Amino acid sequence: MKLGFILFIFLISSLLLMFITLKMTLHDLRSDYTQQVRLSNIQNVCAKENLRNRKVYISNYSLALASYEIASVLKAYPLLSKEKSLRKVTTILNHLRDRAVLNIEVHQYAEGSVKKNLEVSQKNADKLKRYLLDKTNLIFISAIGFGATLPLHKEKDQGNKSRIEMNLQRINE
């Protein structure tokens, strides 16, 4: 009977000790989990609030995607006459993921001499370069006016052959 009573007391004390140990450990685990959940909720709320405050959400572009987007904008809207297309191009350029150099090539086909076409295309290229340097965070932009020296089509009856090409190149650090 004494041995049974001693074993019973030992069993009760060991169960009590295990319960206390588990309670202390679970409290630490639960507080860590609760803190992670709270932090996650705060981050989600902040991200949603930030998204609501922005007018337009644009993710960062890779160079390939940005080049494709710029080409599609230039194809859809003639750049020399549209402020809307310039805003779209500057938005794309301001959301580049990588550091890049922009090469602008202006091809101007107007009536007149070759020298006059070269001067007009270089003037337009320089205007576009100044605008993009002011409105974007690009460090280096090169602008070249080709005039009528590199036609897109050889035929004379292709209509307006004036065009602007923009190419992005990654800056290797």
pLDDT tens-digit profile of 102-128? 888 888 776 778 788 888 888 888 988
The rounded distance, in Å, linking the Cα atoms of 135 and 86 is 10
- What are the CB-based long-range contacts (under 8 Å, 24+) for 132-137? 132/89, 132/90, 132/93, 132/102, 132/104, 135/86, 135/90, 135/94, 136/90, 136/93, 136/94, 137/93, 137/94
What's 63-170's CATH class?
Answer: alpha beta
The pLDDT-based confidence of 92 (bands split at 50, 70, 90) is confident
For position 13, what pLDDT does the model report?
92
- Tens of pLDDT, residues 27-66: 666 677 777 777 777 777 766 666 555 544 455 667 777 7
Mean pLDDT rounded to a whole number for the chain: 77
For position 47, what pLDDT does the model report?
65
Collect all residues with Cβ–Cβ distance below 8 Å to 98 and sequence separation of at least 6: 62, 63, 170, 171
Q: Is the separation of the CB atoms in 141 and 133 below 8 Å? A: yes
For position 27, what pLDDT does the model report?
66
- Tens of pLDDT, residues 144-159: 888 877 666 555 545 5
- Tens of pLDDT, residues 13-24: 999 988 888 777
Q: Which segment of 10-24, 87-101, 156-170 scores lowest on mean pLDDT? A: 156-170
For position 66, what pLDDT does the model report?
79
Collect all residues with Cβ–Cβ distance below 8 Å to 148 and sequence separation of at least 6: 107, 108, 109, 114, 117, 161
Q: What is the pTM of this model?
A: 0.57
Q: Is the separation of the CB atoms in 145 and 124 below 8 Å? A: yes
Tell me the residue type at 62.
S
Cα 63–Cα 65–Cα 68 angle in degrees, nearest 5: 105
**Phi, psi for residue 141 in degrees, rounded to 5:** -135, 130
Where is pLDDT greater, at 97 or 5? 5
Query: Domain limits of the chain?
Result: 1-57, 63-170
pLDDT value at 2 more than 50: yes
Mean pLDDT of 80-106: 80
